[in-house]
Amino acid sequence: MISLDLNFNILTRDLSHYLENQVKVGLFGSGVGLSLVLGFSAAYTCYYLISVAKKPQLISGGKTFCQFLKEQCPVVSETYYPTFWCWESRIQTLLRPFVTAKPGVVYRNELIKAADGGQISVDWFDNDDSLSYPDPTTRPTVLLLPGLTGTSRESYILHMVQQSRDLGYRCVVFNNRGVSGETLLTPRTYCAANTEDLETVIDHIQKTYEAAPMMAAGVSMGGMMLANYLGRKGRKTCLKGVIVFSAGWDVFECTASLEKPLDRFLFNSYLTSCLQASVHRHRPVLEKCYDIDHVMKAKTIREFDERFTSIMFGYPTNDDYYRDASPVHKLKSVQVPMLCLNAADDVFSPSHAIPVEAVKQNPHLALLITCHGGHIGFLEGLWPRQSTYMDRVFKQFAKAVIEQGGRLKDLSR
């Protein structure tokens, strides 16, 4: 492998000299095409190794947690090599659902009654064939939270279920109300700021398997909800650890980023239409309380939240909702080990809004920032079908928390 300490100026000079000589020869022979291809490939490889492939930045508020991660999760110290032909942020984000495989998973669905009369759909992967934990009463449980409009069938969720299955763990996927095919019984859906349904599900799992250790992983909005939950609960939770992927830490900055012309075209409009489709499916119960025609005319996520989400959850203004939904304001109250993975080029969660300073002030937090990876992308390898960098981080952290979590009981040191 070419050393990253290579003098780039010398490399550029030699490469230019090589191309110049080869093109001259090729013009009088037949090798100009091959020479150009080889020259471009060499230049691209050098650029990739020097400017694209980099070690992630690990930031933690305490030495104990940081050292634990370095010892138990070697992936946090390894160079991340994004797929060389699609390392750009938007390409990673757009391609991930199409190029990654969807492992076969058979779930057991359960509908949990909520306090307001509604129902919450959760999908269980019991892993009864677990050799490491044959006793279901003590089999570790991993709670998974999908993104904004995601369900248990998202490829990134299926991959985490697969990783958990390999470790012998049980998985439970928390589906937000109204997105996974269940009937909406009350005129209420979900938002990143409200964690009542999540608390109901965690309590239900804990009561079902009281002797089983439990951790959680959240993706995008699911990660935001988890972080907000931990910020509100402090130490009063049964979760042993949490990992969060591609969370939006400041909702104001996230929405502003997604309203830039290109990102509005690629992502914002599509997500808005997905939210509206969910509302349309449950129109009979929702139109009794909300102006659905007005909601269906929204062009952006911000307009959707102004006309629907903020009203549903009783906020005076949409700004009040966005302020409450932003996990950055609650990080100081988190008292459970939480690892957060973000890509610096994620347009959903811009780098200037990643809460580096807040993380440094809390010994229970750690932040892993890659230069590339996009939003829930983190593709790696020549053809990233089976596993991503995100999958590897998840598997190592889950194993560390479940099997070595005793070392994380006192992180205040």
Q: How confident is the model at residue 31 (pLDDT cuts 50, 70, 90)?
A: low
Q: Could you report the per-residue pLDDT of 51-108, keeping only the tens digit for each?
A: 899 999 999 999 999 999 999 999 999 999 999 999 999 999 999 999 999 999 999 9
Residues in CB range of 160: below 8 A, 6 or more apart: 142, 144, 171, 217, 391, 394
DSSP bridge pairs for 240: none
**Token pair recorded at residue 39:** 């020259």
Q: Using only C-alpha atoms, what is the Rg of the chain?
A: 23
Check residue 413 and give its pLDDT: 57
Contacts of 161 (CB under 8 A, 6+ apart): 103, 105, 125, 144, 171, 173
Segment 11-37 shows an average pLDDT of: 52
> Phi-psi category of 344—alpha, beta or left, where left has phi over 0 and alpha has psi -120 to 50?
alpha
Q: Token match 């013009």: residue?
A: 27
Taking residues 380-407, report their average pLDDT. Answer: 93
Dihedral in degrees, nearest 10, Cα atoms 126, 129, 134, 138 = -20
Report d(CA 273, CA 191) in Å as an integer.
16
Each residue's pLDDT tens digit, 214-253: 999 999 999 999 999 999 999 999 999 999 999 999 999 9
Identify the active-site residue in 123, 324, 346, 391. Answer: 346
Q: Is the pLDDT of residue 269 over 90?
A: yes
From the list 257, 310, 375, 391, the catalytic residue is: 375
Within 8 A by CB and 6+ apart from 402, the residues are 140, 167, 169, 213, 215, 240
Q: Is the pLDDT of residue 43 over 90?
A: no
Q: Does residue 6 surpass a pLDDT of 50? A: no
Confidence of residue 411 (pLDDT cuts 50, 70, 90): confident
pLDDT surpassing 50 at residue 28: no
With 90 as the cut, is the pLDDT of residue 30 above it? no
- Nearest Cα to Cα of residue 202 among 182, 221, 226, 185: 226
Whether 329 is a known active-site residue: answer no
- What angle (nearest 5°) sits at the alpha carbon of residue 252, between those of residues 265 and 236? 125
Query: What percentage of residues in the chain have a pLDDT greater than 70?
Result: 92
Q: What is the pLDDT of residue 24?
A: 44
Q: Is 346 a catalytic residue?
A: yes
Query: In the 8-state DSSP scheme, what is residue 172?
Result: E
Average pLDDT over residues 272-289: 96
pLDDT of 15 over the 90 cut: no
Confidence of residue 408 (pLDDT cuts 50, 70, 90): confident
In this prediction, residue 4 carries a pLDDT of 40
Whether 11 has a pLDDT exceeding 60, the answer reads no
Which of 152, 180, 220, 278 is the catalytic position? 220
Compute the distance between CA of residue 168 and CA of residue 85 in angstroms, rounded to an integer.
34
Tens of pLDDT, residues 116-143: 999 999 999 999 999 999 999 999 999 9
Q: What are the pLDDT digits (tens) for 156-181?
A: 999 999 999 999 999 999 999 999 99
pLDDT bucket at 343, cuts 50 / 70 / 90: very high
pLDDT higher than threshold 50 for residue 5: no
Whether residue 340 has pLDDT greater than 60: yes
Rounded CA separation 404/338 (Å)? 15
Measured between alpha carbons, how far is 22 from 222 in angstroms, rounded to an integer?
54
Strands (E), 290-371: 338-343, 365-370
Q: What is the pLDDT of residue 18?
A: 40
Q: Return phi, psi of residue 101, to 5°.
A: -70, 160
Average pLDDT over residues 39-46: 82
- For residue 269, indicate whether it is catalytic: no
Task: Say which residue the tokens 């959850």 belong to.
Answer: 313
Beta-bridged to residue 125, according to DSSP, are 171
Average pLDDT, the chain: 91
